[in-house]
Amino acid sequence: MTPRIFIAIGDTDFARLYDADAQHRLAQLGEIVRPSTPTGNVRVPTTIGDDFDVLITSWSTEPFDPAVLNGSRLRLAVHSAGSVRRLFPIEALGNDLRIAQGGSDAMAEAVAEMAVTMTLALLRNLVLHDRRFQSSRSWITGGVGMLGQSIAAQRIGLVSLSRVGRHYARMVRGLGATAVRAYDPYATADEAAQMGVELCSLDELCATSDVLAIHAPSTPDTAQMIGAPQLALLRDDAIVINTARAEVTDEQAILTEVRSGRLRVGLDVYSSEPLPADSDFFGRENALLTPHVAGGTVQARFGQGHAVIDEIERFLTDGTLHAEVTSANYERLG
């Protein structure tokens, strides 16, 4: 029987995720059904469980009742974006349906790149130089003679050796950093050592880091794990980078440190998104802010599409999956 694949992705989203080669590969997998939606999200058919073998989702998939996934035919759902939680509750696992997080690997490298970019920008005072120089057009006011810091000389602390955390560790080590430590209760010392990373406790990490880069998922265990007590352990003028999830931090505690000028931060995620226009984070020279775009590169998006196709090909060939979401790892993939 020819596999039937339903693509619940809007036109704009689809064009960014699936290049011409990916679309050709998709066509070879079976019968493809993708409703044209110039604007808005795509609805998952209520008959998806009985009419299709594979469901592909992304950011532009309209939330649906997970009960529609139950049926005689549907056996695989592959998410083209990051976390599957918005669409697939943990109860959706099982009942012969397998779920894969197809887009995460491709995005992880892009997110790490942004985290490294923020780290370098803050170490070299780029935000301060640009804002002062642009507004004053004065060589002196722009900060001539002000010295930055070398990344190679920094003590780098990673909160989680997740996919992103591992890429970030590789990148900063490639830039010369040798003092790289991490807190991750799921990683072993041997695994960390293979990456040139030393494991330690969270409090010790904060107390010994010049740069604290947060790469942990949002789970019940990680909720507000970086709060006022942990931030207080950081040295004056330390840098905090968060391209992961705002829920991992106590955002008000971070804002307090930013207001005081004691710490510098690079943030891509916030507890309320979009970040309200009256947020006190705005307008501060010690805060580098981006609007949740860390994973957004052209190459990452197309990589996500190809990763989804790879997963479907593996599943249809021998039933294996590279990035399967299970009840055991569901909470750690937030």
Active site residues: 245, 273, 292
**CA–CA distance, 16 with 301 (Å, rounded to integer):** 6
Pairing of strands 31-33, 4-7: parallel
Pairing of strands 211-214, 155-159: parallel
**CA–CA distance, 199 with 183 (Å, rounded to integer):** 6
- How is residue 93 written in tokens? 């696992």
Please name the residues in contact with 238: beta carbons below 8 A apart, sequence gap of 6 or more.
209, 210, 211, 212, 263, 264
**Tokens 């003028």, residue located:** 237
- How is residue 218 written in tokens? 């949002």
**CA–CA distance, 48 with 71 (Å, rounded to integer):** 8
**CA–CA distance, 22 with 309 (Å, rounded to integer):** 7
**CA–CA distance, 159 with 216 (Å, rounded to integer):** 6
- Amino acid letter for position 129: H
